[in-house]
Amino acid sequence: MPHPGRKIIHIDMDAFYASIEQRDRPELRGKPVIVGGDPNRRGVVATCSYEARRFGIHSAMPSRTAFKRCPHAIFVPPRFEVYRAVSTQIMQIFHDYTELVEPLSLDEAFLDVTHNKFNIPSATHVAREIKQRIYERTQLTASAGVSYNKFIAKLASDYKKPDGLTVITPQQASRFLESLPIQKFFGIGRVTASRFQEYGIHTGADLKSLSEERLRELFQERGSMFYHYVRGEDERSVEPIRVRKSVGKETTLAEDLALSEHAEVIRILTDLAEKVERRLVELDLQAKTVVLKLRWSDFQLMTRRATLPQAFQAKEAMLHHIQDLLDQVGPQGHVRLLGVTVSQLEKRGTPAHHTPTLWDLA
Ligand code: DCP
Ligand code: MG
């Protein structure tokens, strides 16, 4: 469905990890700083300061290569806790303006500010204020792109970095997109870009000359996406990620079940705990509290909870405590629903970025 007059901002911090290191260690300011793995131990570059980028160093490059390009660069190991804390600060600032915040990684997010909490009519004004507040709160700079859809807002934030603010109006979009080099289009990696080059397509204007049928022939589904994007058409909405507070599974029984049928009750709860465990694994979360939920045959709801000294993910840990909770409830009565929920969630895996595989922590 088309959304006329939407106002989307994309914000992305500048040289995020490296700027934080330069902020916290003044002796690194103005110097080529590389955050990442050790060049002698097969590490990779997570990011580098703008001073280091002049030597052709970039994210995901082997640290050894980076060292060859700039032997006097200063290598700094990452401090994820600090980056995560800064990320929380900037996300809080975004949420002061709108609940429609879609984080893409620790340092970037889309915001839909069409209706913002301060009723500021100009999205450019909102973007300027947010940049200012980020700077005041963190002493770091961000670049912002303002436009009427996500695709163009993201291109806009990348257009001028660091500390940029680029606005692309519907009137300007056509020209902007036509002049854009093909590899800048969202989702076009090196392989796709070289295929475009083969067909003589180097810019948005070249891309625009192809029919949708032709693009679908060449790139299947993605062909249609390119066809629409180059015309500035992108109706995707900003999808806020709501912070998950619990994971639960429950089942309404075909017939009311007497709690005295202990084996059957446990069988059902085991099944539910197993599903909860699977979900926790998928989400890479662990929990500290387990909640047993019962709905009695007269529809009254009862919950009983236990908090464990140690976070858990496995169903055995849940079941152990569910047994105790069941014992407290006693064997009387009939239930029509059983549920297992876990809460007090925390991340389980290695603290990292959207591309943790790049890390060589060995
Ligand atoms: N990152 C990473 N590995 C990658 C890419 C990024 O670990 N391959 C981390 C380090 C970056 C942070 O994510 O600081 C944000 O990624 P960006 O792509 O936004 O890069 P920067 O913020 O460092 O630089 P820019 O100014 O280009 O946004
Ligand atoms: Mg960034």
Q: Which of 108, 217, 235, 264 is catalytic?
A: 108
- Buried-exposed string 94-105: b where 16+ CB fall within 10 A, e elsewhere: beebbebbbbee
**Helix, strand, coil % (nearest 5) of the chain?**
45, 25, 35
Q: How confident is the model at residue 220 (pLDDT cuts 50, 70, 90)?
A: confident
* Mean pLDDT along residues 97-106: 93
Supply the pLDDT for residue 362. 21
Supply the pLDDT for residue 149. 96
Supply the pLDDT for residue 186. 67
130 vs 59: CA distance, rounded Å: 26
Quote the tokens at residue 159.
């257009």
Instruction: Compute, in angstroms, the gap from residue 156 CA to the centroid of ligand 1.
Output: 17
**pLDDT at 355 exceeding the cut of 80:** no
Are 259 and 329 spatial neighbours (Cβ–Cβ below 8 Å)?
yes
Smallest CA separation from ligand 1 atom 20, residue: 15
**pLDDT at 4 exceeding the cut of 80:** no
Find out whether the beta carbon of 83 lies less than 6 Å from any atom of ligand 1.
no
93 vs 107: CA distance, rounded Å: 13
**pLDDT at 17 exceeding the cut of 80:** yes
Give tens-digit pLDDT for 193-218: 888 889 899 999 999 999 999 999 98
Supply the pLDDT for residue 212. 96
Q: What is the DSSP letter of 245?
A: -
Which of 20, 21, 47 maximizes ligand 1 atoms within 8 Å of its Cβ, making it the mutation to test the pocket? 47
* DSSP code string of 261-317: -HHHHHHHHHHHHHHHHHHHHHHTEEEEEEEEEEEETTS-EEEEEEEEEEEE-SHHH
Give tens-digit pLDDT for 38-70: 988 888 999 999 999 999 999 989 999 999 999
Residue ranges with CB less than 5 Å from ion ligand 2: 12-13, 16, 107
Instruction: Compute, in angstroms, the gap from residue 348 CA to the centroid of ligand 1.
Output: 22
Find out whether the beta carbon of 84 lies less than 6 Å from any atom of ligand 1.
no
Catalytic site includes residue 198 = no
Smallest CA separation from ligand 1 atom 1, residue: 46
Supply the pLDDT for residue 359. 28
Supply the pLDDT for residue 160. 95
3-state secondary structure of 334: strand
Supply the pLDDT for residue 350. 46
What phi and psi, each to the nearest 5 degrees, are found at residue 81?
A: -60, -40
Instruction: Compute, in angstroms, the gap from residue 335 CA to the centroid of ligand 1.
Output: 52
Smallest CA separation from ligand 1 atom 26, residue: 14
Closest-CA residue to 19 (of 131, 103, 141):
141
Supply the pLDDT for residue 283. 78
* Mean pLDDT along residues 123-130: 98
Instruction: Compute, in angstroms, the gap from residue 11 CA to the centroid of ligand 1.
Output: 13
Find out whether the beta carbon of 15 lies less than 6 Å from any atom of ligand 1.
yes
224 vs 1: CA distance, rounded Å: 17
Instruction: Compute, in angstroms, the gap from residue 296 CA to the centroid of ligand 2.
Output: 53
Tell me the range of 15-19, 37-41, 252-256, 281-285 where mean pLDDT is highest.
15-19
* Mean pLDDT along residues 284-300: 93
**pLDDT at 243 exceeding the cut of 70:** no
* Least-confidence region, from 4-18, 138-152, 239-253, 284-298: 239-253
Mean pLDDT of the chain: 91
Supply the pLDDT for residue 351. 44
Find out whether the beta carbon of 353 lies less than 6 Å from any atom of ligand 1.
yes
Supply the pLDDT for residue 187. 66
3-state secondary structure of 212: helix
| pLDDT top residue among 89 and 184 | 89
Are 304 and 328 spatial neighbours (Cβ–Cβ below 8 Å)?
yes
**pLDDT at 331 exceeding the cut of 60:** yes
Which of 11, 16, 49 maximizes ligand 1 atoms within 8 Å of its Cβ, making it the mutation to test the pocket? 16
Find out whether the beta carbon of 222 lies less than 6 Å from any atom of ligand 1.
no
Are 285 and 244 spatial neighbours (Cβ–Cβ below 8 Å)?
yes
38 vs 25: CA distance, rounded Å: 19
What phi and psi, each to the nearest 5 degrees, are found at residue 338?
A: -125, 140
Q: How confident is the model at residue 31 (pLDDT cuts 50, 70, 90)?
A: very high
Find out whether the beta carbon of 17 lies less than 6 Å from any atom of ligand 1.
yes
Q: Report the relative pairing of strands 142-147 and 165-167 from DSSP bridges.
A: parallel
Supply the pLDDT for residue 16. 97
pTM: 0.71
